[in-house]
């Protein structure tokens, strides 16, 4: 898996929190509620650590991410969360947690069934006997990437150092593999400097996820279709399994 500049380049990583509005994010709120009874949480693909920091009050939280630029931002935030550089496909901490999370659609960076199988094995290896896990992936049937073109995505980001920054995305799909490549572009209005990255993500089907989780020894207790907690149904935008060890 190639390094994605969107997360590994410090200049691009600096835009991550500005673009994500954590306090208004329904997945953020859902995870905070889910963790109420958990004494320990493992946050895989923790990014800049915003969720891990919020969860760390009153419990043990470990955030793991493969991108040093993201972890540098995370470690600068106040709080008691521990941050570790690591790959969710190969990570083995020798510890188990009451709750294991892999959110922000980070599961979709695993482009092959083998990668997804490895990530799910990592979840199982770190889950306490009565613990729960949760991850999210976009429903491929909704073809959400078709809404990510330059016109639909054009926006202005206010950066604390650069001022107004024009931002947009472009997108293409490989019909043979189903892998979607989307570009993220920032142009600093005051200087014209442009920062760009290309990211590749997969859109696995629900049936594949079900088979891979069963193979990993994971049981799904509920399938959610959105972050408001509604049950999954055909046409729901999200595939969100909430479950435990078999």
Q: Mapped to the 3 state alphabet, what secondary structure does 8-37 carry?
A: HCHHHHCCHHHHHCHHHCHHHHHHHHHHHH
Query: Into how many domains does the chain fold?
Result: 2
Same domain, 17 and 45: yes
Q: Check whether residue 24 and residue 116 sit in a common domain.
A: yes
Q: Dump pLDDT digits (tens) for 108-152.
A: 999 999 999 999 999 999 999 999 999 999 999 999 999 999 999
Domain boundary among 201, 219, 237: 201
State residue 7's pLDDT score. Answer: 95
Domain that holds residue 157: 143-201
Question: CB under 8 Å to 119, separation ≥6 — which residues?
Answer: 44, 88, 89, 102, 107, 110
* 58: helix, strand or coil: coil
150 and 74, same structural domain? no
- CB proximity list for 245: less than 8 A, separation 6 or greater: 124, 127, 129, 131, 217, 218, 219
Same structural domain for residues 189 and 211? no
Asked if residue 209 and residue 197 are part of one domain, the reply reads no
**CATH code of residue 227:** 3.40.50.150
Provide the whole-model pTM: 0.96
Same domain, 229 and 150: no
Tell me the sheet residues that pair with 219: 244
**Does 76 share its domain with 115?**
yes
Per-residue pLDDT of 52-100, as tens digits, reads: 999 999 999 999 999 999 999 999 999 999 999 999 999 999 999 999 9
| Same domain, residue pair 109 and 228 | yes
For residue 23, pLDDT over 70 is answered with no
148 and 83, same structural domain?
Answer: no
């Amino acid at each position: 898996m190639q390094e994605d500049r969107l997360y590994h380049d410090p200049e691009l990583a600096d835009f991550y929190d500005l673009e994500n509005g954590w306090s208004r994010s329904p997945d953020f709120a859902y995870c905070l509620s889910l963790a109420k009874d958990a004494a320990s949480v493992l946050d895989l693909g923790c990014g800049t650590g915003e969720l891990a920091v919020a969860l760390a009050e009153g419990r043990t939280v470990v955030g793991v991410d493969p991108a040093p630029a993201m972890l540098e931002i995370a470690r600068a935030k106040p709080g008691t969360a521990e941050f570790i550089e690591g790959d969710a496909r190969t990570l083995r901490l020798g510890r188990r947690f009451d709750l294991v999370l892999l959110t922000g659609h980070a599961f979709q960076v695993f482009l092959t069934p083998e990668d997804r199988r490895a990530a799910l094995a990592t979840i199982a290896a770190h889950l306490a006997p009565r613990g729960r896990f949760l991850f999210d992936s976009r429903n491929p049937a909704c073809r959400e990437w078709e809404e990510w073109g330059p016109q639909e995505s054009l926006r202005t980001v206010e950066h604390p150092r650069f001022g107004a920054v024009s931002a947009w995305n472009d997108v293409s799909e490989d019909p043979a593999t189903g892998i979607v490549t989307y570009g993220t572009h920032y142009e600093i209005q005051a200087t014209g400097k442009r920062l760009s990255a290309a990211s590749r993500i997969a859109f696995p089907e629900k049936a594949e996820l079900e088979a891979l989780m069963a193979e990993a020894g994971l049981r799904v207790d509920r399938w959610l279709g959105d972050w408001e907690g509604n049950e999954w149904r055909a046409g729901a935008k999200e595939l969100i399994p909430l479950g435990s060890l078999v």
